[in-house]
């Protein structure tokens, strides 16, 4: 006997409501699950990157950046570290200024920095004092790194957010997993340097440019201008966002976006509206940069603009021009130092080469991530025959902008003559991570998608395994493509080590009950502040007095900075994951020029390819600041002399 029709309708309505409720609860549960996983991944990043930062000493550039940033806030004076814009340094200095970190502005290191060239030299002396002579080094460094760690987490959140919009929630988790297991992010993210901040604000600026392309409103223009302005205030390479804008407009002229009108007149108006919105954003960015420089340089002497004149009327002109002059001067200094000798596979090269960053990226990434990129490319090729797109339709313009940004930054990196670190490649790396966003949707449209998804999960797990194995020492990280060769033979500079391993050497000295240990380090800061047993030493000048002793050499100084490959024939031990090597010198000491002995004088190299030992000069004035006036004159004379041939 069938129920009456009214009961059937009631039953059907009840079932429909039940299914709708289950579906809504399922969507909510899925959303909460994805959010919980994302939070766990960011928590993983916090503990791994933060734990790494806790174990390290100050790296080379941090010495200058911490002291400079503190002076910007305490004195409103931008004289120190002019070759980098101030934002990252200011953010790092905020907790230091709040805590009352001490800096002596009556010191010679500050007073002699009033002029341009002395300021470039004094930033290291002043920073060394801030980090270890006027304050305790470890709490000062950790508080300065805290804002950088927050920015690293913030970039991870934006990676998850943007990837989710492009390809769905699983895409967001995939890209975030790749981000939190990227060695370059874990290594350089928490450091007081400019590379992570410019990456963060550049990615946001690119996305906001896509927002303008979708909806050219005044709000989007302001948001784009703020993001572009903060990128320009982070690092001068933020200027590369301008050619990205031009590239997108040129590209869309020949390959119109789906949203562009077909009618020629309407299309011209459509593009003109977006051009105007972008230009408004650029004006906003210029205002942001100008105001920041104007405020932070308020107390800085403007003697460089003396040609304008003196007096109250001249001041009214000179002070407004000061921000423009400071930004232009910093940009010029950056360009003048944009070519430097590099090192690759045991060979010293006079300048950067196009294949440097691809090799560094291949060696300094996890194999799981490299295989994910290959899988993504293969799936994309197989997906081409499908008519639908894997990108959410509302964000196709953003995808186009991100692709254009990747290729512009990639080309500039490949053509760069300054090839010293994978950290200069962080913008392309993060954009590559975002390119994984279409992968989940593309796989679902292919046969055997379950198998492809299982392979993807395995590769994601493979990204985590080497990170957990390397923790907490990520500077010397290299994957198995190194084929067992030491990293100091393959790459250079901060790809290998950056003076961060001194605490490990101090622990070794205490374990071995050493009262002194000869140290060949690669920085302009005084290692004795962290390793009291350290004695200044050059591994190229081995003497009989070293017989039977333990000596320590930063890995990057074995072949890149110096010529000390002979030491590997002696009993040795790697510290801090390979950042520092300690060697037991045999007795008697091998003769100079022998295969197992130090090089002859003509075979010696000077750190960073300099014409003289700048490290010795820095240590001298840091320990004896009363010598600064006379030593600074000597330094300027050395730079004015014709360069001598350097074996490096």
Give the 3-state DSSP-derived string for 153-215, with helices as H, strands as E and coil as C: HHHHHHHHHHHHHHHCHHHHHHHHHHHHCCHHHHHHCCCCCCHHHHHHHHHHHHHHHHHHHHC
18-52 pLDDT, tens per residue?
A: 545 545 555 555 678 999 999 999 999 999 999 99
Q: Looking at residue 309, what is its pLDDT?
A: 67
Given a contact cutoff of 8 angstroms between Cβ atoms, the answer to whether 556 and 500 are in contact is no
Tabulate helix, strand, coil % of the chain (nearest 5): 65, 5, 30
* Segment 544-563 mean pLDDT: 96
The dihedral built from the CA positions of residue 279, 284, 286 and 287, taken in this order, carries a sign that is positive
- Report d(CA 592, CA 607) in Å as an integer: 20
Nearest to 474 by CA among 61, 146, 183, 46: 183
* Segment 578-598 mean pLDDT: 95
Q: Looking at residue 10, what is its pLDDT?
A: 61
Please report which confidence band the pLDDT of residue 612 belongs to, taking 50, 70 and 90 as the band edges.
confident
283-332 pLDDT, tens per residue?
A: 999 999 999 999 999 999 887 776 776 766 777 788 899 999 999 999 99
Percent of the chain past pLDDT 90, that is, above it, reads 84
Percent of the chain past pLDDT 70, that is, above it, reads 93
Nearest to 240 by CA among 407, 461, 473, 127: 407
pTM above 0.75, yes or no: yes
Q: Looking at residue 647, what is its pLDDT?
A: 43
Q: What is the separation of C-alpha 46 from the centre of its chain, rounded to a whole number of angstroms?
A: 17
Arithmetic mean of pLDDT over the chain: 93
């Amino acid at each position: 006997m069938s129920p009456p029709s009214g009961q059937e309708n009631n039953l059907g309505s009840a079932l429909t409501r039940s299914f709708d409720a289950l579906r809504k609860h399922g969507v909510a549960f899925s959303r909460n699950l994805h959010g919980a996983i994302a939070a766990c991944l960011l928590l993983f990043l916090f503990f791994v990157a933060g734990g790494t930062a806790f174990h390290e000493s100050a790296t080379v550039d941090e010495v200058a950046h911490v002291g400079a940033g503190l002076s910007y806030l305490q004195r409103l004076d931008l004289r120190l570290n002019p070759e980098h814009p101030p934002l990252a340094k200011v953010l790092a200095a905020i907790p230091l200024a709040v805590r009352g970190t001490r800096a002596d502005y009556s010191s010679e290191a500050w007073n002699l920095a009033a002029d341009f060239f002395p300021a470039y030299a004094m930033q290291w002396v002043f920073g060394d004092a801030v980090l270890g002579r006027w304050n305790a080094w470890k709490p000062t460094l950790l508080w300065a790194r805290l804002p950088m760690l927050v920015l690293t987490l913030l970039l991870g959140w934006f990676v998850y957010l943007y990837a989710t919009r492009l390809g769905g929630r699983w895409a967001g988790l995939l890209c975030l997993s790749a981000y939190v297991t990227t060695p370059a992010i874990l290594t350089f993210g928490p450091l007081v340097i400019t590379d992570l901040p410019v990456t963060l604000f550049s990615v946001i600026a690119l996305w906001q440019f896509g927002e303008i392309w979708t909806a050219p409103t005044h709000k989007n223009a302001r948001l784009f201008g703020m993001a572009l302005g903060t990128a320009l205030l982070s690092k001068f390479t933020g200027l590369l966002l301008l050619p990205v804008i031009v590239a997108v407009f040129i590209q869309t002229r020949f390959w119109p976006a789906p949203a562009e009108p077909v009618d020629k007149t309407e299309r011209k108006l459509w593009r003109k509206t977006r051009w105007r919105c972008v230009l408004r954003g650029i004006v906003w960015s210029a205002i942001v940069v100008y105001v920041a420089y104007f405020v932070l340089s308020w107390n800085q002497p403007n003697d460089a603009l003396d040609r304008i004149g003196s007096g109250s009327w001249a001041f009214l002109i000179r002070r407004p021009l000061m921000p423009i002059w400071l930004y232009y001067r910093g940009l010029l200094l950056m360009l003048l130092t944009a070519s430097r000798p590099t090192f690759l596979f045991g060979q010293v090269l006079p300048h950067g080469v196009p294949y440097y960053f691809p090799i560094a990226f291949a060696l300094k990434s996890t194999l799981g991530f490299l295989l994910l990129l290959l899988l993504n490319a293969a799936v994309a090729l197989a997906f081409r025959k499908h008519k639908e797109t894997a990108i959410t339709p509302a964000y196709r313009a953003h995808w186009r902008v991100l692709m254009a940004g990747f290729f512009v930054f990639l080309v500039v990196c490949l053509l760069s003559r300054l090839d010293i670190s994978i950290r200069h490649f962080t913008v392309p790396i993060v954009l590559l991570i975002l390119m994984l966003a279409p992968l989940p949707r593309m796989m679902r449209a292919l046969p055997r998608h379950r198998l492809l998804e299982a392979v993807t999960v395995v590769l994601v797990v493979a990204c985590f395994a080497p990170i957990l194995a390397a923790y907490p020492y990520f500077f010397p990280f290299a994957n198995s493509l190194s084929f067992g060769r030491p990293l100091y033979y393959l790459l250079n500079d901060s790809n290998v080590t950056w003076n961060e391993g001194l605490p490990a050497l101090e622990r070794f000295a205490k374990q071995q009950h050493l009262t002194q240990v000869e140290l060949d380090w690669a920085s302009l800061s005084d290692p004795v502040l962290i390793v009291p047993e350290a004695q200044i030493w050059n591994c190229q000048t081995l003497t009989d007095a070293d017989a039977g002793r333990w000596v320590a050499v930063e890995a990057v100084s074995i072949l890149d900075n110096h010529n000390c490959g002979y030491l590997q024939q002696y009993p040795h031990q790697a510290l801090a994951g390979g950042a520092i090597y300690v060697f037991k010198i045999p007795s008697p000491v091998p003769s100079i020029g022998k295969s197992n002995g130090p090089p002859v004088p003509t075979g010696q190299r000077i750190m960073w390819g300099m014409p003289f030992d700048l490290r010795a000069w820095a240590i001298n004035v840091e320990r004896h600041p009363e010598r600064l006036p006379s030593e600074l004159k000597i330094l300027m004379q050395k730079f004015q002399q014709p360069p001598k041939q350097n074996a490096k």
